[in-house]
Structure 1
């Protein structure tokens, strides 16, 4: 009897011990699964992390024709489903951000999510895939999957009627101070002319002064003939803000840029400046009047970012030599080769490394099929005076030259400027990575 009791007691103790071990095993399995889940979404490379992802409204059918204010974005972070920064911008029929009072109509209905509107968020905020145990306020209407070039997949979720919103702002804007600030840079515009900078600060830049003097647009043209040519610079090209669309991902300023000649407004064009966490994009569009265009003889546009004493800066161009230019205050033969054949319409990246914890990568593309010949706009001269400027010299000036304008009608081009604390490797490797966006797939939860 005692032996039987002892056996039963031992048996119950064994069961208890196994249960305890099993509980620990279960806990270990859960921890392992959580670690595996975290491994499924590794940190993005610096070149990818702050890319702005845009999804057309037409790709989000469950959100169409409903109030924009009802929608928000969420992702899995640290094992929980959390709201992430996002914005939804309304667009006009010309494919640009819509502004009330501008002469291009909205491509849909006010405050309604239309096919032409765009959802924006930052790539690094996407997370692992949602699982059944993840709870969140509101209704999930779409799962958006982002597949990178290495095959890794990250997810965000479009949510309707959630009370939760992220308070993070990648872009901070002050209309009163004409100031745009991100975690990477800040720019203060001249309130009377946004083509002029009062200040451009790059955080973590290893230099004492502003790295850039100015961003310049110049129209060089003859009047009726080439006998007399004039250059209209940032003093003659007056850009006045007509509106702002401010969001945590992107701040867009609508400018009316007027070409003044002999004290008279000669031509007005549209400029939208898009401010992203680590980039500036200038979207320039014009409807060129036929008779006024006739008065211009061989016009050309020069777009250039002018450095402030960035001695030692090296510049590579898409079609130029692999030997970079060197900023030393003088133009040499190698720089002439870059100027003559450094870029083309199809292959036009320009990369400058200051060796001061600051790189700049630029691209140009035309908004329509009406393209024009382009070339590398470059100068390395410590003595030249090119007003208006805040600092003397062009050390260096880097940008693009458009050699002609169409005789009439719509014409537009976009210049992208991307800033980095330093791109890794050679441009033949990192330029395609900088241009590449993840593949986007949209799913509807069952």
Structure 2
């Protein structure tokens, strides 16, 4: 059956389902409103149409937490591989290296049919960042050619457990040039790259509007402050029983240090950072926000940080790579510097919290009171750097810092669960800390000031019954890629 016939068949099925009274795509987005046969039909469609949740954004509101778990299991995934987006470099894919980017597309076998899936290819500049024309410096390699460290990106959940059968799964145009096989926890999934095929899935999992400073994704949305893009405003989840609730109060960034002597302390916080949006490398799978961040002290820009904020439909990655000329001198005059990086959440009462040092299955209640155990939350850096918050509102937050093992820092985790916290910030909207959590660097290396770390945030609807520990184990051991020539 050709792909045109397949589309017609699925369209007829959708019409029949609506006529039969399911009406789930047009119904109000009420939490936990996909029941019985409606939910079963939704799963059947999702197996055949990987981007269904992006096509109909009301669906994520209608799923209960239990149904999210059932959905992930029905697709033979776990909760990490549901949010995970693999990257395939040109250097890893011999059949693709050197090909023109505009000629490539990605497909998978789903419910017996070869269907296109959302994808993008991001080129790299000579500094290793994602290349954005007119914004970045020199491009690495040849522009418009898939080469070197350029990355092909798609969602792991969109791949198929079925392998392509050349006799049954044929393209009307173009040809399959690369088979991408992923091995993970004893299971195998596949994606296929075509050349000169017009088959594309037009869905966008993420869309950032530079004029409105807003992100619209299948699972969450937010607005940035135009004067400082690191300030998130109106951050909400497109899931759970209270999607109107503002999730995040503020991002916390603060450096406090003495100069030569411990006192007086000099403090640089998010108000001293002039974070500008230089541009965006758009894509349907991830939006890469190109940031220029000036550290301003006493009105004087001291140094600049360049970074990429990468936003997925259920995650954010923010790497910081910084070399300050003369920094080796600066580290010798800093006295007991402390760097705080964290999230101040808004009213997560009823949720739970856990950290890398907690014994498995032992969680803290978010109740506005700091317990004795919470006061002793002493996470080790760099070998235990994850935190987990179950919101109690139908979604989770997993936060992890990726710190190179050769970066000699000391630090600890921070967690404050208080209706009246001892410390407040001028840039908070809500004065409570329900909760506030993150990491605190308490010692920097002396003799150099090269910073290389990545903050990773995931927003799964749930980490599943196995708890956050299993999610992190899966995160630390992602699917393994094998690229080979396709069977013809």
TM-score normalised by length of structure 2:
0.78
Is the contact between residue 279 and residue 417 of structure 1 (CA under 8 Å) also seen in structure 2? yes
* Alignment counterpart, residue 189 of structure 2, candidates 154, 158, 161: 154
Mapped pair 1:58 → 2:94: no
Match of 2:474 among 409, 429, 433: 433
Q: Show the 5 A alignment for 1:109-188.
A: 109-127=142-160, 128-131=162-165, 132-136=167-171, 137-149=173-185, 151-188=186-223
The Cα shift of 1:431 comes to 2.3
User: Is 1:301–2:301 an aligned residue pair?
Assistant: no
| CA gap 1:396/1:112 in 2 versus in 1, 3 angstroms | same
Bigger CA radius of gyration: 1
- Tell me whether 1:398 sits opposite 2:437 in the alignment: yes
SS in 2 for 1:232: strand
- From the superposition, tell whether residues 175 and 335 of structure 1 become closer, same or farther in structure 2 (CA, over 3 Å): same
Structure 2 residue corresponding to 1:258, chosen from 286, 294, 297: 294
Contact 2:414 2:439 in 1 (8 A): yes
- C-alpha distance in 1 between matches for 2:306 and 2:460: 28
User: Which SS does the other structure have where 1:302 is aligned?
Assistant: strand
1:320-399 to 2 correspondences below 5 Å = 320-321=358-359, 323-338=362-377, 341-366=378-403, 369-384=406-421, 385-399=424-438
Per-residue deviation, 1:391:
1.3
How far is the alpha carbon of 1:346 from its aligned partner?
Answer: 1.5
Evaluate the alpha carbon distance shift between residue 263 and residue 399 of structure 1 in structure 2; reply closer, same or farther with a 3 A threshold: same
Moved more, 165-174 or 46-55: 46-55
Greater fraction strand: 1
CA distance in 1, matches of 2:136, 2:379: 38
1:107 match: 140
Residue 374 of structure 1: SS of its match in structure 2? strand
1:235 aligns with 2:274: no
405-414 or 112-121, which moves further after superposition?
A: 405-414
Counterpart of 2:373 in 1: which secondary structure? helix
Question: C-alpha root-mean-square deviation of aligned residues, in Å?
Answer: 2.3
Report the equivalent of 2:112: 79
- 1:211–1:112 distance in 2 versus 1, CA, 3 Å: same
CA drift of 1:439 comes to: 1.6
Superposed, 1:21-32 pairs within 5 Å as: none
Unaligned runs of 5+ in 2: 1-46, 49-73
TM (norm. structure 1) is 0.85
- Corresponding residue pairs, total: 405
In the other structure, the counterpart of 2:257 is 221
Aligned CA distance change for structure 1 residues 371 and 89 (closer, same or farther; 3 Å) = farther
Equivalent residues of 1:329, 1:382 under 8 A apart: yes
For residues 296 and 270 of structure 1, the distance between their equivalents in structure 2, rounded to whole angstroms, comes to 23
